[in-house]
Structures are given as structure tokens and as C-alpha cells.
Structure 1
Amino acid sequence: MGSPSESAYLSVEVDTIEDDEEFMQDFLKPYLPYSLPLLRRCQFHAKQKQLTPDAEICLATCSINEKAIGAEAETAVSSSQENDLLDNPPWLAAHIDLSNSGQTQIWTFASWEHEFNKELDPATAVQESPQYLAYQRLFEALFRHIHKEHISKLGDQPPEQWQRLKAEGKLVSEPFSKSKVLFGTIAECLWPFLDALRTDRGDSAISRESRPYLKYIFSSREHEEVMSPPKGLRFAPVPEQYLQTIIDRTDIPRTVETIRQLPNIGLCDSNGRPIAWGLLSKDASLSSLHTEPEFRRQGLAETVARRLLIEQEKFYHDAENATSRPDDDAADAVVYGHADVSDSNVASRKVVEKVGGKVMWRTAWIEIDLGNV
């Protein structure tokens, strides 16, 4: 935490976003591809918000409190910092949905990510930034907002879906606490703001974490080639009776209810049994690519991945260049896709690289306990 004088000159507000499309157009699309995970999550929210009415897109903004800049605060803020904050105020956006206990609940994007994710050591670079205090204040405001507007309204007992995940051996932190929230695909330059809770409150502040993951970015200019399925197989959505199989074949904590909401593609045999499959997560990242053991080494996962990238464009109406940068000509517009792959998962890395994925930054899943913010 900063000193009182450091806090005084910064004014931070957190507002609920009422116009999804305007927010995505004005705040997220100009920062592509770095804003892609949150953009896709917001697009998914717009399509299915009736399923999670308590979910929220919010925006935390930071500005100079000019009334507080006097003799007391002059030592806390330099003229260059003041000018930078006035000319280019930072902001932090988030999609919050605590209904999926044990699964990813929060996606974020910060206005400074496109600068620091290009650094060799993004976490150190952001900590050395003159605007670090402002960035930190934005996260602290977000944490307080999540606790006040979302956590406080939850019941104290573990929900049924959390108990199911535990019974199936999925990774959930114990004991259960409604104040534990899972931040997903969070960029490396944002890790310090979550790790700071460990410094302030000890190891209990971070209840579980998975890092590092590599963020692969795909371009429509690179995945236009669609591989036909091998003879005897066909593309089809995974039948309902096999949705639990998708869950059983991965460590990712998801429920059948979640899988039903997600676009998926299966390669099915003549009996309708899927022998390879993949899906798009709520942020449209390629996820759960899997081939049954007896059918491996035939390029089936690559085939499914290519098809999923095309399906993404259909699902999010990218034929209208919905995720292109504003300065792209329509004919040259790029449609982006993405995937998070564990640094140690060599097999999956090879698959996404064959499809044209390029590593652009690192990410993590970090669950933090906001019970004492």
C-alpha cells in the first residue's frame, strides 16, 4: 500500500459497463491482439448474458485528484507523472462471473498491457514504471469492487458444482471459501498486482496458481487452410452423451453445464463416437484438444484446431471484421485466435505451432482470497 500522500492525488472509480458493444469498440478493439481474451469473453457475455444475470463487465479508471495536489502531495507525484496521468490515464477492465465456482471467474485487460507484454521481463518492467502506483490503485479498487458487489452476495456453503468438481478429482482449493476467486489467462505484466497480496497478507492470499502458460496468437491470414477429415470420419458437434468424456480427459475444472455452452468440434466415426475433439472456451481460446490414444499421430488434433478457428469466426461474426483493428482495411483485416498452453506441454505446443500459432506473451491462472481486502 502507498503512503497517504501517494493515495491522495489519485482518484479511482469503478463503473459497470452498460453498453457492451460501445465498450468493446472503444476500449478493447484498438488494443488487439493483447485485449483478445477479454474482448471474446465480453462477446460471449453479450450472447449468453441471460444465463448469468449477475455477471458484470466493469471498468476501473484512474485520474489525478487535482484538489489534493498541494504541498502535502508534491513529494508523491512529479510533474511528468502528473502530465502523463492527465494525458493518458490508465484503466483496467474486467469481466466478473462468480457463478462458476472452481472455474475461471475473472478475465482482465489493462490499458498498459500492450506496452509491457513486449518486454523480456514484463513483471519487472511494470514494477519499475513511473505509473506503477496508479496501476496498483486500479487493481486495489477492482478487488474491493469484487468483494463488495459480488462476493458479499454469495452463500457461505460450497455450491453443488464446486462439490462435483472436487468429487471428480479436479483442481480446487480447499477448504472452500466464497471469497476465493480465480483470475484466468492473466498476462505476466499483471502478475505483480496479484502477487502483492501475498506480500501484504502471506501465502494464504494466493490459494492456487498455474503458471507459466504461453499465449499463442493466430491470425486469419495464417489459418485459412482447412484440412479435410480423414476418410471415415466427419466433423460434428460432440454428442451430449460424450460431454462428460471431454471433462474426464482433462484436468481443467469444468462441469457439463459449462461444456454445453461452449462451441465444440468433434471428429466422429461412423457410429457417431468422437475420437478427437476440441472446444472454444468462454474467451474463445482453443481448449481441451484431445485425440483418443489409438488414433494419435495422424494430425487429427491439428485438423480439429484449424476447424475451431474457422468456427470462432462464425460464432463471433468475424466475417464482418468484428475484431479487426480500426485502422485495418476491410480487405486486409485480421481475425485473431488464441490459445494458452503450458510451457511444459510440448505435444500441445507442437500442435498449435503447426496451425500457425506464435507465442506473444505469458499468462497464468491465479486464485486469490479477497476475504480481507
Structure 2
Amino acid sequence: MALNQLPSAHDCWQSSPSMDWSDQSPIASPSYSPAKSLWLDTEFHSEATPIDLDSWYPQYLRCTQYFLEQGQFAPAVQSLAAFLNIRLPCQRVERQTSSDAGGQEAAAHVLLRRYIRRLVVTAHDSPEVLMAFFGAEWTGGVGCVVQQERQTYLFTAKSSGWAATKAAYDLLPDEQTPFLRPLRAPAEEELRLAESRWSDWNGEKEEEEEEPWLIAYTDLFAGRETQVVIYSSEEASASSNEGDQILSLLTTPTNPQRVRAQLLALFRYIKTHLLPVYTAHRASEDAAKEAAGDHQLAPPPPQAFLVGNLHTGLFALLFAGAFVPGIKIHRYDHAPYVKYLFGSDVVRRGGGSARTDKTEASNHADNLDFRFHTRSGKQGVLPRHFALVRSRTVIHRSDATLAVLPGAAVYVDRDGCGDEDGEKKGEEEEEDPVAWAFLGPDGSLATLHVEEEYRGQGLAGRVASEAMRRGMVEDERWKDYGELLVHTNVAMGNGASRRVMRKLGGRVGWTVTWTVVEVV
């Protein structure tokens, strides 16, 4: 944005987040006159050429000596300094008196810039005030310093918010800036010069670095299923996946700390605002029944939650270097999952017919007839099959979840029994699927299984493709959002499933992990 002229000090002050005060400063109000003074013209010309330091420094010392011997003792200067919360040299315990050193030596050890900065940011840098502080020769001694600080103030305000700008001008431990005001009476040429220098310094075509951000989907009531899914903008800078590498993030030197702080803030928010409601609900139910005697992954402890699909780069960033105070990790996948991505061409293709090609089928497939429906024409996994599905995986999914997930299932006729013969024998009640696939709520291929005796028939690829087609195309999940991607996660060591994903046309995206986190 351009460095346009700021509103008047009074207009800005009405909305300034600071204390109330009177417009009358201890030094008379002419300091707020918008009239352009002669020294500004001279200063702009001198800024265009190098300053002769040999002639400038003696003038600066004379301004310093005046400030030490006269200016700081003037009642108006002392009252303004008190009002602006900055101590004068005579008010400092560690000051050197004129009896300890000569005037020139004492002047060389006092920095006027701290006082000039306070005058600039509070809009008290008028010629009258500067003369009261530094004497009648202030233009030659501190005029260039005033101009430097005015431009620095413009740059600081342009690149920072109010709080950051104020913090930059606070003097610790107890001389904080009491308020900020817009730059006093900025001249058009002053703004033009500042804008030109800002462009030179920042690069006119250089885009400002984006602040990292993250979003999270949280459903603690999912229980043993994934409760938190996180995406950070830093994932877009992840290193490329080659082979079986666990992916990290390519971040700038300052961003890792910011992203880490954002993750910790999210976890603390979940603990403070979301977890109490969930734990109260869980205590009211029979939690023991939920986990009794099954082979699946245990639910998180009552005060913890399951974070899934977490980029391995984010996980490494969170725990890089050392123990993280306040965070306890109960478990995580030491061997992560590889995420595969499928485009619309793969998804729209579907599984075609469930019947296998003879080139794909094993020898015992000659008498098998595979189909995507039961003998009576029902498609997908039926509710009575949910227990069978759960028995084949360590990942818990409730009946309620399985009932709403889109998917596909493969059924088989054995020994040449056709549909009509099967119906006559009333065998449908005993008919179980031999392969199935589900899409998760997030559009991922969440479950893929083929019964062991039917593997090697090409069923995995067919049922996976059909589940993706039904979930995204037939059920119109792409209708409102356009054709996006379908993804799936395969254990890094599961070579067979990874070959299936590659054969389907999936491309490797990144690596992810599941972890149980507790804020202690």
C-alpha cells in the first residue's frame, strides 16, 4: 500500500487504544501546526546527497551539550518528558555530572536519538519543541536524525500493527511509550521519498511473505475414530516424495516456531473448550462396553484425543529438537502411511464389471462369478455385514459410521450357481461379500479389503475404483465443488496394497501419521 498522508493527530487519537488525555501538551500547541517549515526542504535536499560528517558532528555535540546544560532543566521540557514517560539524563541514577567529565566528553556519551524517537511517535517533534530540547542550532545538529526517525516510524507503522509498532518504541523496563500518534504534519515530498525508499528496500515486485495458518476439523464424539484433522499452509511447501522417504516441510527460518505455536494453541483450545463436554458425555455412557474384548485399537484416554491424517512434517515440527512441555504423546505410527491421490479420470472410470479377466485370475477362478450386488440386486455392504468388516481391521468404525459411508462390495457365485438358482435356494441370507471398499467422510478411500482366498483376482482395484465412482460421481459429491481429488493412505510397509494403488493410477502425495495427544 502507498504511504499516504495520515489523518490528523486528533482524529487518530479518538480511536487510539490508549488512555484518555487532554489535547494541551506542556509545550504550547504551535507544535501541531500543519504549516510546512523551511528545515524540511533543506533536509530533503541533504538526504539526496551524503552528509558531511566532519561538519555535522560538531553541531550534533553542541546540540547535546545544550540539552545537558540547559534543555533538560527547562520546566517545559521536564513536564513534557514526564508526560511522555521518558527520563531525562539528570533524572537517571547512573548519570555522570559535569564535575566528573568535561562538557564535550559528557555530550559524547549521551544519545539524543531516544528522545527524538519519543517526540516523533507522539507527534511532538515540532520546531518549537526541538528548539526547547536541543537549542537554536538543532536543524544542523539533529535535523537529519529527526528526518531519519520520521521515515523509520513510517516504515515501522507500514509493516506492523499498532501493538507491534508501540512495542518497537517502548523502552524497558518502565519507560513505555504512553501513546502513538500519526506522523506530525507530513509533507508530500517526505511521503514520496519514504515510499521510494520502501520500494527500494522491500522490492516493489516482491510479494510479502504470507503468515502461516492452519485449520482443523474436530469431532471428539467420533471416539475411537479420527477426532481431529489438521491442515497447515506450510504443507504446501513440503519436500517432494521420492521413494519411501518420510516427508518434511520446507519452511523459512521464522515459520517453524510460528507453526509450532499454532499447533500448541489448537491443542490447548481443544482441551479447554471442547474436551470437557466430550468427557462428561463419555462418563455417562458405558465406555467399558465400547472397548470390551475386541482386537481393534484402543480408544484414546479420557483426557486425550486422536489426531489423524497429520502430515509427518507437521508432526516432526511439533516435536523437533526436544521435549515439549505440556504435551504428552500416547502413541503414533512409527512407520507412517503413504498418501496416494486419484484424479477425476481415475474416479470416473469406476470398476466396470466385477468379473475378472482370465489374464488376472488365478487358476481356481474359472468357476467363480463376481458381481457388485447380491443375488437380489442389493449393492454395497449390508448392515448385517458390519461386524464382518470390523473383524478384518484394527481400525474401529461404528455401525452408525459404516451405514453412512459410500462404498462398494463384491459378491461371488461358486460352482456356477447363477442368480436364479441362488434365489431358489434362498441362500442370500448367508451371502457375504468377499471384497469391499468404503470412502471416508473426508472423501478418502478409507477401507479396502479382499478376503484372503480371493486375492490375486484383481478384485482390490475393481472394488476400490467402483467405491470412488459411486461416492463422488453417482452420489454427486462432486456436484457442488467440482472435480477434486480422492485420496487414500497405505501403510508404508504394505507393498501389496501400494502396488494396487499404483496400478489404479494413484500418485504419491505425502506421508501422514495418526497420533494420540494429551495436553497435561
TM-score, with structure 2 as normaliser: 0.50
Aligned to 2:164: 68
1:90 to 208, 212, 232: 212
- 2:438 maps to 1:313: no
Aligned counterpart, 1:144: 268
Task: Note the 1:149-168 alignment, pairs <5 A.
Answer: 149-153=273-277, 154-155=279-280, 157=283, 159-160=285-286, 163-168=289-294
Structure 1 segments of 4+ aligned residues over 6 angstroms from their partners: none
* 1:268 corresponds to which of 407, 411, 418: 411
Structure 2 gap ranges (5+): 1-158, 172-200, 356-368, 374-378, 413-418, 420-427
Q: Which amino acid aligns with 1:93?
A: I
> 228, 248, 270: which is aligned to 1:123?
248
In the other structure, the counterpart of 1:114 is 236
> What is the deviation of 1:223?
4.2
In structure 2, distance between residues paired with 1:266 and 1:212 = 27
1:51-94 alpha-carbon deviations (Å, 9 max, x no partner): xxxxxxxxxxxx965413534899xxxx98xxx99752221100
Cα gap change, 1:340/1:232 in structure 2, threshold over 3 Å: closer, same or farther? closer
| In 1: Cα distance, 2:303 partner to 2:160 partner | 31
Q: Secondary structure at the match of 2:217?
A: strand
- 1:233 is aligned to 371
Taking structure 1 as reference, are residues 117 and 147 closer, same or farther at Cα in structure 2, changes over 3 Å only? farther
AA of the residue aligned to 1:169: H
Find the structure with the greater CA-based Rg.
2
- Bigger relative CO (Cα 8 Å, ≥ 6 apart): 1
Residue number among 198, 219, 222 corresponding to 1:100 in the alignment: 222
Distance 1:239 1:109, change over 3 A: same
2: CA distance between counterparts of 1:367 and 1:197?
20
Partner secondary structure for residue 125 of structure 1: coil
Task: Quote the residue 1:218 is aligned against.
Answer: 342
Q: Is the 8 A contact 2:241 2:508 kept in 1?
A: no
Give 1 or 2: higher helix fraction. 2
Which residue of the partner structure matches residue 207 of structure 1? 330
Which residue does the alignment assign to 1:344?
Answer: 493
The equivalent position to 1:242 in structure 2, one of 379, 385, 396, is 385
CA contact 2:410–2:435 (8 Å) conserved in 1: yes
Aligned residues: CA RMSD? 3.2
CA contact (8 A) 1:97 1:105 kept: yes
Change (3 A) 1:319 1:207: closer
In structure 2, relative to structure 1, the CA distance for the partners of 1:112 and 1:191 (3 Å cut) is same
CA separation in 2, counterparts of 1:95 and 1:308?
Answer: 24
How far has the Cα of 1:266 moved from its partner?
Answer: 0.8
Percent of matched pairs sharing the same residue = 25
The residue that corresponds to 2:88 in the other structure is: none
Instruction: Tell me which amino acid in the other structure corresponds to 1:353.
Output: R
Offset, 1:112: 1.8
Contact 2:332 2:514 in 1 (8 A): yes
- Tell me the distance in 2 between the aligned counterparts of 1:316 and 1:109: 26
